[in-house]
Structure 1
Amino acid sequence: MNRREFVRWSGLGMMSLLLSGCGILGTSAGAAGEEVQKNSVSGGNKMKIVVINSSPHARDESTSIYLSDRFSAGAVSAGHQVFTFDGANEETHPCRGCDICHMNGPCVFSDAIENKLMPELLSADMIVLVTPLYYYGMSAQLKTVIDRFYSRTGMLHGKKSMLIATAYDSADWTMTALSEHYATLVRYMDWVDVGQVLGIGCGSRSLVEKSSFGEQAYNIGANL
């Protein structure tokens, strides 16, 4: 693509962003495409929730962590316990496919995933995956953590789950590939999908803070 074409397409993309507005095309839905109703997920019981952040940006700059924090605040307000793991900055290693764990642990890597995250995951009622959109998929940092689920695959089945993601682009297909990947993971892990907050058109912290996505994330947490 030459410079003239790049400028043309960049201009069209910016115009699309300005016309659509952050928050207009996004979704915040329960498994049936509706807002989560109060106590419909927890049955009124207090849950243990593990939130896995994967943005490499600073907390006060990250758009996905902002939504993650809003969800967590809502969940805590409802009395649930929230454990947050920083998948981008903790010491982690990708799965080697060595199968020494035999899908029943422990992993050959004695890192933060094995020692800090995995015990929390095993006892969790709900897992929240949080990612910025990179090349229309999840971040490498989140994928690294998910691949390491292999060492306890069976023990992580049957939990509740949620996806939180943010992206600069605002096209209606922006989150399609990521959402479908998440749906496949939910099916494989036999998880119960609580919902998705897909923050399209949110290329900066100020944009996501001005959008409706923060309120959507908070409300899902508060209504669990």
Structure 2
Amino acid sequence: MERRTFLRNCILTAGSVLIGGSAIFRFLKVSKQKEEPLSTTIETICQGNGKNVLVLMSAGTRKGNTDRLTDAYIRGLSEKGHSVTKVYLGSMHMAGCRGCGACQHNGNRCVVQDDMQLLYPLFVACDMLVMASPLYFWTITAKLKSFIERLYAISVEDKYPEKETVLLMTAGDNNKHTFDQALNYFHIISGVLGGKEIGTYLAGGCTGCENISRQIAPEHLEKAYKMGLDL
């Protein structure tokens, strides 16, 4: 190959790479500009004269079955005059407890710096904790479990702030023992937090992600709403 031809081919190749790289850069830049901002993970739903209620919706899918069940319950709470803060736990970055024990020697401050730091003051201030979760492998979600584990940081001599507790759950199954494991765990956690269980609502027979659309029976939503209204 002649030297002139070789140089021309090298220049054309380099130019193609540069043009292609520039096009890719422009595409990525435009795509980045079009990205939607992250949705709010903590929302103040209402302010009332009743109880201060912290609701942890731990499903990763918004507007799914668990979220709809949770919103039905919140609607009842709101109409009754309670203050409600809703947390989309499934959208937060939160690790489980490391078991390092540092919190017990540095003034009950967790050394893991993630979104759990936003939830400690909300938990301390609330009168009632509502845990909402789909059934994953016969128990609550990993995110909700992580939240519970990380409460160890604010324990004093293995004692925890006392809170009223509520459990809301959804599942595809609707058998007699579908929720047994999750329910037993909830009883344990409620006992640790003072044994003030307000109630549970377990919505079985929901259509999950395996189908075209998620579905929860309207009677579940109505009963959850009335449960919130009766508080």
TM-score by length of 2: 0.72
- Aligned equivalents of 1:86, 1:93: Cα separation in 2: 15
Stretch moving more, 152-161 or 163-172: 152-161
Partner of 1:150: 152
Answer yes or no: is 1:214 the counterpart of 2:221: yes
Q: Percent identity?
A: 27
Q: Which is greater in Rg? A: 2
**For 2:80, which of 61, 78, 81 is the aligned residue?**
78
**For 2:168, which of 164, 186, 201 is the aligned residue?**
164
- Aligned 8 A contact 1:157 1:191 in 2: no
What SS is found at the alignment partner of 1:164?
A: strand
The aligned runs of 1:136-147 (5 Å cut-off) are: 136-147=138-149
- Aligned 8 A contact 1:128 1:163 in 2: yes
Q: Which runs of no fewer than 5 residues in structure 2 stay unpaired?
A: 1-48
Stretch moving more, 68-77 or 100-109: 100-109
Q: Which runs of no fewer than 5 residues in structure 1 stay unpaired?
A: 1-44
- Structure 1 residue 156, shift from structure 2 partner: 4.2
- Structure 1 residue 222, shift from structure 2 partner: 1.4
State the structure with bigger RCO (CA 8 A, min sep 6), 1 or 2: 1
- Structure 1 residue 170, shift from structure 2 partner: 1.1
Shift of the 161–97 alpha-carbon distance from structure 1 to 2, 3 Å rule, reads: same
Answer yes or no: is 1:105 the counterpart of 2:112: no
- Aligned 8 A contact 2:52 2:125 in 1: yes
Count of residues paired in the alignment: 177
Answer yes or no: is 1:184 the counterpart of 2:191: no
Partner of 1:129: 131
- Aligned equivalents of 1:188, 1:206: Cα separation in 2: 34
> Which 4+ stretches in 1 moved above 6 angstroms?
none
- Aligned 8 A contact 1:169 1:203 in 2: no
The aligned runs of 1:2-17 (5 Å cut-off) are: none
Shift of the 206–127 alpha-carbon distance from structure 1 to 2, 3 Å rule, reads: same
Partner of 2:12: none
What SS is found at the alignment partner of 1:184?
A: helix
- C-alpha RMSD of matched pairs (Å): 1.9
TM-score by length of 1: 0.74
- Aligned equivalents of 1:125, 1:150: Cα separation in 2: 18
- Structure 1 residue 110, shift from structure 2 partner: 2.4
